[in-house]
């Protein structure tokens, strides 16, 4: 039983478009969520943290959390080819100590 | 650079040998996590340690794998009698607090190849 699920993709969008990445979680996962970006052969890099319902914006990135639907998403506006990477959704386990990762969604931004 | 430091970056071992992976957390961080990533897969939790204590090792294989984080020095992930299935990228992460609000900061990883 997976606790954090993502569509593995690949998701392909044209340059300048909005990329929408989605993630669902089981009720065992706490309400602290993170989005990481991982380029091929590199380590994960934190993009966004979100802890409460609603939207959180940081530059071209917007994270959305809906606790009632157990759903978290990441929107990337004005997508650039340099955004092409795997995006990992992660949640911290309530009452535990580990951060649980989804399998990741591969994003391709076509120039 | 006060980031998470892992070494070596690449490690090649023959089947049956031992692999030792080292991780120094970010300055001011006393919580260390080890994750394994197989090609084209996500990160799988292995173990969470604080100084001198293993807090959660629920993701560690029962045999051949061990981890420590001594009072002095880096955290060590040790794999004895490696097999080809151990080939993977091993990432270490650290956080300042061990609660569920702390995002993890990752090192560059150690890529283990077992021949």
Beta bridge partners of A111: none
On the question of pLDDT at A2 being above 60, the answer is no
Mean pLDDT of A36-61: 95
Name which of A29, A44, A105 to mutate to probe chain B: the one with the most chain B Cβ atoms within 10 A of its Cβ: A44
**Which among A42, A93, A99 has the least Cβ separation from residue B104?**
A99
pLDDT at A68: 86
The C-alpha atoms of residue A33 and residue A48 are separated, in whole angstroms, by 8
Which of chain A's residues have a Cβ under 8 Å away from the Cβ of B109? 43
Distance between A58 CA and the closest CA of chain B, angstroms: 16
- B36-93 per-position pLDDT tens digit: 999 878 899 999 999 889 999 999 999 999 999 999 999 999 999 999 999 999 999 9
Name which of A43, A51, A63 to mutate to probe chain B: the one with the most chain B Cβ atoms within 10 A of its Cβ: A43
**Residue A29 confidence class, pLDDT cut points 50, 70, 90:** low
Distance between B68 CA and the closest CA of chain A, angstroms: 17
* DSSP tag of B99: S
The C-alpha atoms of residue B101 and residue A20 are separated, in whole angstroms, by 24
- B2-26 per-position pLDDT tens digit: 799 999 999 999 999 999 999 999 9
- Mean pLDDT (chain A, rounded): 90
Mean pLDDT of A30-38: 88
């Amino acid at each position: 039983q997976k606790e954090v699920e993502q569509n593995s993709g690949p998701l392909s969008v044209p340059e300048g478009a909005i990329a929408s990445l989605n993630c669902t979680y089981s009720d065992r996962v706490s309400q602290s969520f993170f989005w990481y970006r991982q380029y091929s052969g590199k380590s994960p890099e934190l993009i966004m943290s979100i802890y409460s319902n609603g939207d959180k914006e940081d530059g071209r990135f917007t994270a959305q959390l809906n606790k009632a639907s157990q759903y978290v998403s990441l929107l990337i506006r004005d997508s650039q080819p340099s955004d092409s990477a795997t995006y990992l959704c992660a949640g911290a386990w309530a009452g535990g100590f580990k951060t649980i990762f989804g399998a990741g969604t591969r994003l391709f931004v076509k120039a | 650079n006060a980031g998470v430091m892992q070494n070596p970056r690449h490690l090649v071992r023959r089947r049956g040998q031992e692999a030792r992976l080292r991780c120094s957390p970010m300055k001011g961080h006393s919580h260390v996590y080890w994750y394994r990533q197989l090609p084209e897969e996500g990160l799988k939790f292995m173990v969470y340690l604080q100084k001198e204590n293993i807090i959660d090792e629920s993701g560690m294989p029962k045999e051949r794998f061990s981890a420590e984080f001594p009072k002095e020095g880096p955290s060590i992930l040790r794999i004895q009698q490696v097999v080809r299935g151990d080939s993977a990228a091993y990432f270490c992460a650290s956080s300042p607090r061990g609660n569920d609000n702390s995002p993890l900061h990752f090192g560059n990883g150690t890529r283990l190849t077992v021949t």
